[in-house]
């Protein structure tokens, strides 16, 4: 039994609903369960192997007349997503709903081949179709458990939720299994995966804009200067050793390939700081202070730096805002298995073109599908050949033929570059959260939330009520 804690005092109304997060500690009891699901839902001529898929369930406020809210996990441990989705616990209370968080296969504790390492051979069952089938499998089981009296009806009151890639999955679940879910609420969801996207520079432009807004122009200039400093320094063994020691790397840098991985790791830290630049302290995969971009930039730019090694030292101090804010880590690892698994998805179905140009703060790098495909082939042995599979399978941005989808996009979220930013139809809407951060609307309501965040949550409640009615 897990116990998640939220702290805030917020009241906001929508129709006849009042949503209020408690002002003191409130514990949300979540029971951990497992279900055996097929390793593959698509091969009937072979022996059906299974693995245990984890899900969390909360029925504290559920009544027999209430709906089922199901949150679809994505690239990470489902406990972390549940701990950072206080809004869903709040509306479960409002609607007297059962709340379920389902983990994504190959993440957290839901690992096929649990006693084996993940290899290029056994990772082949990591696809969107298999993952959606897992979710459908769980939903069908829950549907029988919770809605026995109306099981003969075409639909049961089940709503899908998700954010980021999980928000994409929530929309795809509604598209592919409309008989299982009435609708989907997708926060910060990239919906357009295609190698020929026109504005590949958008992603890093949003990150740069966030650093300019919260960290200042000097921070952006220092970061941009830092790339050449790092590259030049790592051309010698002394430089490799200096960075390895100063940045407290778990493994010392030795090769050009490792330096390239370090540069990618550094770029990803800037992205993650942008995705988690909330106006209060958080612990979403890693502990961070309020406005971590500002804290990072203050560390990097407040002192005069007149030499290369001085810059690297200040970089090391600033990086610890992300890598070791809680001061409980001995060293920094710039690779992990989760990155490997998610990279596989980015190489197969979730191709998101990104390029950096002179006006942003990253190393200039054009988007080249052929090079990207060759890299994926070298790492995983896969060929990223079909460039627009998800658009063919799920509609991409062409969603006018579907119903009951809600998208929210935050202004300071780089994933909005691949998202739905305009209303598609009367039943498919998109809400823009100005000055908002990635998945901010799914987090626990906070007294300092701006009106756009509050409006988005109000609107979600209204739409859910209309779907259930």
Tens of pLDDT, residues 174-218: 999 999 999 999 999 999 888 777 789 999 999 999 999 999 999
Residues 253 and 365 in one domain: yes
Would you say residue 270 has pLDDT above 70?
yes
Site of tokens 């839902």: 41
Q: Are residues 363 and 446 part of one domain?
A: no
Structural domain ending residue among the three candidates 380, 409, 444: 380
CATH of the domain at 221: 1.20.120.980
Same domain, 145 and 259: no
Strand, coil or helix: 332 = strand
Looking at residue 149, its pLDDT comes to: 64
Task: Please give the model's pTM, rounded to 2 decimal places.
Answer: 0.92
> How does strand 282-283 pair with strand 10-14?
unpaired
287 plus 312 within the same structural domain? yes
Distance CA 80, CA 381 (A): 31
Q: What is the pLDDT of residue 338?
A: 67
Range in 148-162, 274-288, 308-322, 398-412 with the lowest mean pLDDT: 148-162
DSSP secondary structure, 356-409, as one string: B-TTSSS--B---HHHHHHHHHHHHS-----TTHHHHHH-TT--TT--SEEEEE
pLDDT class for 10, splitting at 50, 70, 90? very low
| 38 and 115 assigned to the same domain | yes
Is residue 61 located within the same domain as residue 108?
Answer: yes
E strand intervals along 249-347:
282-283, 287-288
Do 363 and 302 lie in one domain? The reply is yes
Give the pLDDT confidence score for residue 28 in this predicted structure. Answer: 61
Instruction: Name the one residue in this structure whose structure tokens are 């790098």.
Output: 365
Cβ-based burial of 27 (10 A; exposed 0-12, middle 13-18, buried ≥19) = exposed
Both 243 and 376 in one domain: the answer is yes
Q: How confident is the model at residue 45 (pLDDT cuts 50, 70, 90)?
A: low
If asked whether residues 392 and 287 sit together in one domain, one would say no
Place of tokens 């299994």: 177
Q: In terms of C-beta distances under 8 Å and separation of at least 24 residues, what long-range contacts does 391-396 make, across chains too? A: 391/192, 391/193, 391/194, 393/128, 393/129, 394/128, 394/171, 394/172, 394/175, 394/176, 395/175, 396/191, 396/192, 396/193, 396/194
**Rounded to an integer, what distance in angstroms lies between the CA atom of residue 318 and that of residue 316?**
5
Give the tens place of pLDDT for each residue, 365-387: 999 989 999 999 998 998 886 66
Say if CB 286 and CB 204 are below 8 A apart.
no
- The residue out of 380, 401, 435 marking a domain boundary is 380
Domain housing 437: 2-193+388-468
Selected residue with higher pLDDT from 253 and 6: 253
Q: Are residues 401 and 266 in the same domain?
A: no
Domain boundary among 321, 349, 380: 380
Structurally, the chain folds into a number of domains equal to 2
Collect all residues with Cβ–Cβ distance below 8 Å to 157 and sequence separation of at least 6.
66, 67, 68, 147, 182, 468
> Which CATH number characterizes residue 68's domain?
3.40.50.1820
Note the pLDDT tens digit of each residue in 223-255. 999 999 999 999 999 999 999 999 999 999 999
Same domain? 23 vs 146: yes
Helical spans, DSSP H, in 38-123: 78-83, 86-95
Are residue 366 and residue 284 in the same domain, yes or no? yes
């Amino acid at each position: 039994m897990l116990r998640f804690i939220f702290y805030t005092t917020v009241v906001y109304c929508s129709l006849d609903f009042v949503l209020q997060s408690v002002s003191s500690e409130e514990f949300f009891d979540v029971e951990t369960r497992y279900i055996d699901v097929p390793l593959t839902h698509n091969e009937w001529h072979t022996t059906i192997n299974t693995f245990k898929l984890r899900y969390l369930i909360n029925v504290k406020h559920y009544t027999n007349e209430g709906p089922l809210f199901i949150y679809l996990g994505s690239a990470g441990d489902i406990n972390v997503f549940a701990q950072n989705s206080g809004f869903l616990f709040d509306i479960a209370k409002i609607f007297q709903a059962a709340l379920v968080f389902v983990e994504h296969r190959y993440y957290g504790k839901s690992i096929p081949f649990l006693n084996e390492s993940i290899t290029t051979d056994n990772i082949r069952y990591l696809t969107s179709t298999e993952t959606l089938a897992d979710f459908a499998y769980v939903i069908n089981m829950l549907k029988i458990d919770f809605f026995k009296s109306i099981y003969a009806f075409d639909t049961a009151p089940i709503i899908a939720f998700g954010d980021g890639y999980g928000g994409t999955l929530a929309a795809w679940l509604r598209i592919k299994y409309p008989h299982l879910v009435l609708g989907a609420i997708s926060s910060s969801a990239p919906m357009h995966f295609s190698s020929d996207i026109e504005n590949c520079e958008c992603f890093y432009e949003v990150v740069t804009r966030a650093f300019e807004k919260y960290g200042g122009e000097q921070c952006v200039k220092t970061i941009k200067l830092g790339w050449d400093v790092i590259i030049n320094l790592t051309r010698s063994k002394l430089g490799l050793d200096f960075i390895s020691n100063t940045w407290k790397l778990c493994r010392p840098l030795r090769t050009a390939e490792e330096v390239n991985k370090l540069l990618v790791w550094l770029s990803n830290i800037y992205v993650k700081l942008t995705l988690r630049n909330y106006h209060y302290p958080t612990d979403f995969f890693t502990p961070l202070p309020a406005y971590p971009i500002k804290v990072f930039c203050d560390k990097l730019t407040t002192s005069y730096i007149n030499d290369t090694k001085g810059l690297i030292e200040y970089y090391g101090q600033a990086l610890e805002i992300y890598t070791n804010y809680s001061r409980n880590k001995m060293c920094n690892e710039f690779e992990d298995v989760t990155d490997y698994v998610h990279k596989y998805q980015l190489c197969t179905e979730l191709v998101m073109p990104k390029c950096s140009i002179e006006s942003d703060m990253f190393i200039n790098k054009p988007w080249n599908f052929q090079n990207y495909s060759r890299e994926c082939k070298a790492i995983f042995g896969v060929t990223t050949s079909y460039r627009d599979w998800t658009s063919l399978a799920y509609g991409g941005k062409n969603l006018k033929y579907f119903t009951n989808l809600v998208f929210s996009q935050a202004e300071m979220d780089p994933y909005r570059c691949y998202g739905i930013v305009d209303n598609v139809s009367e039943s498919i809407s998109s809400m823009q959260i100005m000055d908002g951060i990635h998945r901010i609307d799914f987090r626990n309501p906070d007294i300092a939330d701006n009106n756009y965040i509050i409006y988005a949550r109000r609107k979600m409640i209204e739409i859910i009520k209309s779907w259930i009615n």
